[in-house]
C-alpha cells in the first residue's frame, strides 16, 4: 500500500492518479494533506501515528498609540478582518469559489470553528443555494459567534463582488 500526501492535498491527488496510472493498485491520498492531519490530531488524535504539530498562531487586536502634537491618535490593528467561508464540499469548492474564500464544509464547521478566530469577527457564509449557509449561520450563532451573515448562494455572492 502507498500513502501519499502533501501540504494541502492538491498535489497528493495528482500523485495518486500518477501512481494508479503506473500500475499501483493500493494507493491512498490523505485528503487535505498535512494541514488536515494536523487539524485531526488537534481535534481527535490518532492511535497509531504521531503528527508533528506546528504551533498555533495566536491573533489578537493590538492598539498602537502615537502622540502627534497635542493629539493622541489610536491606531487599531485588526487581525480578525472579515472572512468569507464557503460551506460547500471540497469538490464543489475546487470547481470554483468566491475570491479569497476559505472552504470549511458544513459537516466540518463545528469541529473547525476555532479556525474562524474571534467570536465577534465578521463572517459571511455561502454555499450553492443559500440553504447550507443558513444552517451554518444558525449553528455558529448557537456557538456564540455574534457577527455572522448568510451571503446566500455562490451566484448571489459573485453578483455583489
Whole-prediction pTM = 0.53
- Class of the domain covering 83-159: alpha beta
Query: How far from 14 is each of 9, 20, 32, 104, CA to CA, in Å?
Result: 9, 10, 13, 22
* Domains in the chain: boundaries: 2-43, 83-159
Q: How does residue 127 score in pLDDT terms, banded at 50, 70 and 90?
A: very high
Residue carrying C-alpha cell 459567534: 145
Using one digit for the tens of pLDDT, what is the confidence trace for 67-123?
A: 555 555 555 555 568 899 999 999 999 888 999 899 999 999 999 999 998 999 999
> Can you give the pLDDT at residue 7?
77
Amino acid at each position: 500500500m502507498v500513502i501519499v500526501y502533501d501540504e494541502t492535498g492538491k498535489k497528493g491527488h495528482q500523485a495518486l492518479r500518477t501512481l494508479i496510472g503506473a500500475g499501483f493498485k493500493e494507493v491512498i491520498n490523505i485528503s487535505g494533506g498535512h494541514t488536515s492531519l494536523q487539524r485531526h490530531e488537534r481535534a481527535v488524535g490518532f492511535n497509531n501515528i504521531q503528527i508533528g504539530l506546528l504551533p498555533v498562531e495566536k491573533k489578537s487586536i493590538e492598539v498602537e498609540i502615537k502622540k502627534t502634537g497635542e493629539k493622541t491618535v489610536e491606531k487599531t490593528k485588526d487581525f480578525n478582518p472579515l472572512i468569507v467561508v464557503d460551506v460547500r464540499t471540497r469538490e464543489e469548492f475546487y470547481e470554483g469559489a468566491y475570491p479569497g474564500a476559505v472552504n470549511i464544509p458544513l459537516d466540518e464547521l463545528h469541529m473547525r470553528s476555532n479556525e474562524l478566530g474571534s467570536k465577534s469577527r465578521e463572517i459571511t457564509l455561502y454555499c450553492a443555494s443559500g440553504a447550507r449557509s443558513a444552517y451554518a449561520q444558525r449553528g455558529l450563532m448557537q456557538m456564540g459567534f455574534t457577527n455572522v451573515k448568510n451571503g446566500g448562494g455562490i451566484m448571489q455572492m459573485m453578483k455583489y463582488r
